[in-house]
Structure 1
Amino acid sequence: MDHSEGWATDAAKVSLVGAGIGLVVSTTKNIMSSNSPGISGIFTVHGSSIGLYAVIGGVFAGTRGLSAEIRKKDDYINTGIAGCAAGLIIGLRKRSLPSAVGRCAFLSSSLGFIDYTGGLTNKIDELSAEERERIRASVFGAKDRPINSDKD
């Protein structure tokens, strides 16, 4: 994630995306419920999903950016710290400290591992155009090879 605009701006953007995802989740819950109160149920009955996803997204992005700014490094440890913060939010919603600590440990280790192995960033974008073309040719074969070969 690019931190050139600041971690607070990144957190606000991701929080808005999280609210959008929460709206989709809330709508889906409202559609699937057996006693649907209508369209108002999206915000009244299942509306807490919107806020939860917005908070989780904002906390994750903000913690990741702030951690990178404090540590002067942008690496997998920041993702682990942010995963722990997001896990704490999810766990505390259940009003259970063991749940919060468990979710913190799970999200911290899993998201940190994914980022460590290059899963949250696209490393191919860091290569030059020539290197990307060489990799593409090695994976998909030579450019001049015909698709249909007529062997009689």
Structure 2
Amino acid sequence: MLERAVDGLQQVQETLAGLTRVLSPGPGGSAGNPGTTARRRAGGPALTRREHRVLTLVAAGLSNREIAQVENISDKTTKNYVHALLLKLGVTNRTKAAFTALSEGLVDPRECGRARTPAPRAGTPVPAPGVPGPRKPPGGGNR
């Protein structure tokens, strides 16, 4: 019976150590950085809205270039976000980041499924369903 109690205590210690690792701030920032809107899910790290969106896109399998296009940011900015996420999650590559995000409930799998569809920009007209978009001029318009 004493062995079970010791095993249980060790599991609690390991869980707390893992949570401490995940919740601790990365270099150059704090977990409770004022001035940012943080998202904390199920004991996960505090993420800004943009970091959460980028993590969702990473988990959906998008490349840095694709993420940059969807989010309308530069490739370099995307790379910086992905690097910051790797540090916050305590992982070494984007595959592990995606696995961690999905397995720990940091992102919604349904969001990942919808992630490849960029949201329309403000002021951009969105055609009604079944209405064709603008036509390209004959010859592709590239001269």
> What TM-score does the superposition give when structure 2 sets the normalisation length?
0.29
Q: Pick the structure with greater CA Rg.
A: 1
More helix by share: 1
Q: Which has the higher contact order (CA 8 A, sep 6+)?
A: 2
> What TM-score does the superposition give when structure 1 sets the normalisation length?
0.28
